[in-house]
Amino acid sequence: MAGPIKRSVTIAGHETSISLEPVFWDALRDAADGLDLPVNALVAQIDAERIEADDPPNLGSAIRVWLFLRARGEA
């Protein structure tokens, strides 16, 4: 399995970098395509959900969990 790849995304007009393994970047792109959203917009939605948590995880972790829950039909 390949190691994490760092990419920049824009959330609310601010660039941030996220490190995810290639399989998660592929799954994120597929999910965004399936929802007819740009990847940045999907990441912004996941980020908005993340920051509402009592103890928010980092964004990379939130994306991985969101993708896992989506794969299980829970997102």
Higher pLDDT, 29 or 73: 29
Please state which CATH number belongs to domain 5-71.
Answer: 1.10.3990.20
Q: Measure the CA–CA gap between 56 and 47, rounded to whole angstroms.
A: 10
For residue 75, pLDDT beyond 80: no
User: For the whole model, what pTM was predicted?
Assistant: 0.90
Report the Cα 46 to chain-centroid distance in Å. 6
Q: How far is CA 73 from CA 17, 59, 66, 67, in A?
A: 27, 21, 10, 10
For 8, 31, 56, the CA distances from 60, given in Å and listed in that order, are 12, 15, 11
* pLDDT tens readout for residues 5-63: 999 999 988 999 999 999 999 999 999 999 999 999 999 999 999 999 888 999 999 99
The pLDDT, as a whole number, for residue 74 is: 79
